[in-house]
A and B are shown apart, each in its own frame.
Chain A
Amino acid sequence: GAVVSQHPSWVICKSGTSVKIECRSLDFQATTMFWYRQFPKQSLMLMATSNEGSKATYEQGVEKDKFLINHASLTLSTLTVTSAHPEDSSFYICSARIPTGTSNSYEQYFGPGTRLTVT
């Protein structure tokens, strides 16, 4: 079946540095990818929706200049956390959506997540 991978699976970085997380769809082309953030013991919160070749759409309250999303190809989306701070420490999960072929129907697959710790 369809698989979404994320790299790295975990990362520790120092405050003030930037870190990039990659999300790849392995068996299919995803025109739309989503990025979620999950703080400990909380739910997944949608951060942004990215469409291949266009600018990402950010949810209210998510700083687009801090969380840079690039979806340059149909199989790769990247999330860069710029000037990371300890409060950015979280579990970041990407998701890819593919149409199933029938009208308005699609599947959404989730990556395994990336655990970011900012010290």
Chain B
Amino acid sequence: AQKVTQVQTEISVVEKEDVTLDCVYETRDTTYYLFWYKQPPSGELVFLIRRNSFDEQNEISGRYSWNFQKSTSSFNFTITASQVVDSAVYFCALNVWNMRFGAGTRLTVKP
């Protein structure tokens, strides 16, 4: 069975703070993909990153970084120097045959 757990339901930070969104996954498959999506109020999912199970390299993209650790089945997402425009719901997802989403973390960045 596939399962994704996003530890934080809601996070509120002040602009310029760093924030980390945690994601823990479960699967018995050895080949899988992990994703992070951003969902702004419009509802349309914005793709942020995809990682396959064989690539544990951390990744940095501008203010965004991801830490993938198979040993703890975690795929955490950090936003450095957060901005008000980062306010959204963020979903972690696991894809083996189909995409299963975590419950989401609502991030509010206050000016």
Q: Do A and B come from one complex?
A: yes
Residue B99 CB within 8 A of the other chain: yes
A62 at the interface (CB under 8 A from B): no
Give B84-111 interface residues, CB cut-off 8 Å to A.
91, 95, 98-104, 106
Contact B104 A43 (CB under 8 A): yes
Please measure, in the bound complex, the distance between the C-alpha atom of A29 and the C-alpha atom of B104, giving whole angstroms: 30
Annotate A30-50 by CB proximity to B: 1 below 8 A, 0 otherwise. Answer: 000010001001111110010
| Contact A112 B44, beta carbon cutoff 8 Å | yes
A91 near B99 (CB under 8 angstroms)?
no
Contact B101–A43 (Cβ < 8 Å): yes
Closest residue of B by beta carbon distance from A34: B98
Contact of B99 among A105, A108, A112 (CB under 8 A): A108
Interface size on B, residues (CB 8 A): 18
CB-defined contacts of A93 to chain B, threshold 8 Å: 43, 45
Cβ of A104 < 8 Å from any Cβ of B? yes
As a 0/1 sequence over residues 64 to 100 of chain A, the CB contacts with chain B under 8 angstroms (1 = contact) are: 0000000000000000000000000001010100000
Which residues does chain B contribute within 8 Å of A105, judged by CB atoms? 52
- Residue contact B98 to A46, C-beta cutoff 8 Å: yes
Cα distance, A104 to B42, chains bound together (Å)? 33
Q: Which residues of B sit under 8 angstroms from A49, Cβ to Cβ?
A: 98
Interface string of A95-119 (1 = CB under 8 A from B): 1000000001100101011010000
Supply 19 further A-B pairs (C-beta < 8 A) apart from A34-B98, A104-B31, A108-B99.
A38-B43, A41-B106, A42-B103, A43-B101, A43-B104, A44-B101, A46-B98, A46-B99, A91-B43, A93-B45, A95-B99, A110-B44, A110-B45, A110-B47, A112-B42, A113-B43, A113-B44, A113-B45, A115-B43
The 3 closest A-B pairs by CB, nearest first: A112-B44, A110-B45, A44-B101
